[in-house]
Amino acid sequence: MFLSIWSLALTFCGAIALFLVAVAARTGWRVLRHWDPASDDSLQISLESETWLASTLVEYGLALQILSLLLFILAADQFSQVIAGAMCATGSLMADPYGMPTLYVKLAGVFLYGFWLLLHQLDIRVETYPLVRIKFIYLLVLLPFLLADVTLQTLFIAGLKPDIITSCCSVVFAEAGPDSGNLMGILPNELMLAVYYLAILGLAMVGILLLYGGWVERFRTLLISVYTLGWFGFFFLALTVITAIISCYIYAMPNHRCPFCIIKPEYHYIGLGIYATLIGGAFFGSSIGVAALIGRRPDLTRPVARYRRVAIKISLSLLAVFTILSSYHYLRYLFVGGE
């Protein structure tokens, strides 16, 4: 289905991102071959200025990736209107074997590009640019990843035909029964919610300990790993809980479970807020682990420590906003009652 303005915009976005990151990767290749901090010849000077270009290009690439993730979900939602059986983005994504993988790759992309930018920011805080090699090897890995992203997306668009019959979200995310093959609802709802809120509480406590608990210095590495892995785990837990439990309260329909419909204007775009805070929080939360991995170099200790404080503060604030946004409809239902 290339003859739709949405497919065009997605393809366009993908092509531009690929071009920008390819140019950055070319710089990366040159840097890997010729970088010599001790030298002051013109090649080294031009390479130093090229790293600026590379970082700007990857920044653009990240912005494009976030934009294309949003665009991809909105496009899938639009496609659902012309695909038989689809009623929201779920239907279009399931209509083609490449739909869901594209979404996962795009989601992972936000984290991968973000980590690169983090490395870059830490690197330029130190005079000797200690991370140049790691940074540009990483950049060269990003290129095939982006290529996979664009390829999957193109295959998805090419495979979509208005005459395929697909399932809508009411079938895909329906309550697990003896004959339905989905993974939602392994645990009873009450237990899931309890685990969810305990996880939020736990993350907040670890974060606060890391920020203000001077006496836990000895366990810092342990706490950082707990915080990082905790955010990763929480990211997937939250997605499951939103889909299986919270979305019903937002739609005010006990049988409507869908992670995509909450993005629609009918629900005041609350989904955008929920996902933005969740992805943002998960990124900053888990990035302190990545920063800690490289923070062992003596010259990087200070910038990494400074970054850790900022990142924990940001992730905790995002966690708070996320908790409010995601619990609002549920609490409203508990206290005020149904619509």
Interface ranges with other proteins (CB under 8 A): 2-9, 12-13, 16, 19-20, 23, 49, 52-53, 56-57, 60, 64, 67-68, 70-71, 74, 77-78, 81-82, 84, 124, 162, 265, 269
Q: What are phi and psi of 91, to 5 degrees?
A: -60, -45
Least distance from C-beta 224 to other proteins, angstroms?
22
Whose Cβ is closer to other proteins: residue 45's or residue 331's? 45
Give the angle 178-183-186 at the CA atoms, nearest 5°.
75
Least distance from C-beta 46 to other proteins, angstroms?
8
Residue 40 and residue 57 in contact, taking contact as beta carbons nearer than 8 Å: no
Least distance from C-beta 80 to other proteins, angstroms?
10
Whose Cβ is closer to other proteins: residue 7's or residue 277's? 7
Least distance from C-beta 188 to other proteins, angstroms?
31
Whose Cβ is closer to other proteins: residue 12's or residue 104's? 12
Residue entry with tokens 């503060």:
313
Residue 77 and residue 264 in contact, taking contact as beta carbons nearer than 8 Å: yes
Whose Cβ is closer to other proteins: residue 106's or residue 240's? 106
Whose Cβ is closer to other proteins: residue 160's or residue 304's? 160
Q: Using the 8-state DSSP alphabet, how is residue 176 labeled?
A: P
Look up residue 238 and give its two tokens: 């939250």
State the Cα–Cα distance between residues 180 and 318, nearest whole angstrom: 36
Whose Cβ is closer to other proteins: residue 19's or residue 236's? 19
Least distance from C-beta 49 to other proteins, angstroms?
4
Whose Cβ is closer to other proteins: residue 157's or residue 250's? 157
Whose Cβ is closer to other proteins: residue 81's or residue 180's? 81
State the Cα–Cα distance between residues 228 and 313, nearest whole angstrom: 14
CB < 8 Å & 24+ apart, contacts of 246-253: 246/326, 246/327, 246/329, 246/330, 249/329, 249/330, 249/332, 249/333, 250/329, 252/329, 252/333, 252/338, 252/339
Q: How far is CA 36 from CA 48, 259, 274, in A?
A: 10, 49, 45
Least distance from C-beta 45 to other proteins, angstroms?
9
Least distance from C-beta 63 to other proteins, angstroms?
9
Look up residue 88 and give its two tokens: 């929201």
- Residue 29 CB neighbour total at 10 angstroms: 14
Q: Using the 8-state DSSP alphabet, how is residue 281 labeled?
A: H
Least distance from C-beta 330 to other proteins, angstroms?
26
Rg over alpha carbons for the chain, rounded to the nearest Å, is 22
